[in-house]
Structure 1
């Protein structure tokens, strides 16, 4: 599991695209996002139907809170001490343009499966 080193998150293993994984850079570390069934169910319980989420994303109406929630639920491993608020701040600090490739991968997995 990643740990914090000198105020930055330590990177874990790289994302495996063959498993439908993506990575998002937060606090200087690449965190692996894995859209497992359990992760997507948890995201859907919080955000509502995932197909509606995909539609909002396609129309440019996906909010940053929704993006962070989806990413949070899909984290393969949460670094010790990382709070959702700090994670959200890290995603926002990295910029939406840098988060978009990971979002595309997750949305593709929601629509197409593995």
Structure 2
């Protein structure tokens, strides 16, 4: 993925997260959020759990995975999850904040 393709567009509600040193763009499209909701349950409940500090790592990875704008060739979900953990939750928090804001506000 080129650096130009790895730039998040805030006007589209996108956020970037660095996985294994590579910036990846998260886009909370309708299809992505429906897929995430199908796996982890209602998104409003997810936002409530996050606000209460009860968001699970698996939920965070699932949300991010479904919202990936492009998946690098060969990237598996397990490797993606490991990359999130390696990068640290503090590094993932800004992207999570953007996605949660989009879930609540829409665009």
Q: Common fold, TM-score beyond 0.5? A: yes
User: Secondary structure of the residue that 2:23 maps to in structure 1?
Assistant: strand
What is the DSSP-based 3-state SS (H/G/I as helix, E as strand, rest coil) of the residue aligned with 1:71?
A: helix
Check whether the contact 2:43–2:103 (CA below 8 A) recurs between aligned residues. yes
Q: Deviations over 1:67-92 (max 9, x none)?
A: 00000000000000000000000000
Which structure 2 residues correspond to residues 60-99 of structure 1 after superposition, within 5 A? Answer: 60-99=53-92
- Partner Cα separation in structure 2 for residue 56 and residue 83 of structure 1: 26
Question: Secondary structure of the residue that 1:69 maps to in structure 2?
Answer: helix
Give ranges in structure 1 of 5+ residues lacking alignment: 3-9
Match of residue 43, structure 2, among 50, 53, 77? 50
**Are residues 1:110 and 2:96 paired?**
no
When the two structures are superposed, what TM-score results if normalisation uses the length of structure 2?
A: 0.96
The aligned length equals: 106
Q: Residue 13 of structure 1: CA displacement?
A: 2.9
Unaligned 5+ runs, structure 2: none
Following TM superposition, the consecutive aligned residue runs of length 4 or more in structure 1 with deviations greater than 4 angstroms are none
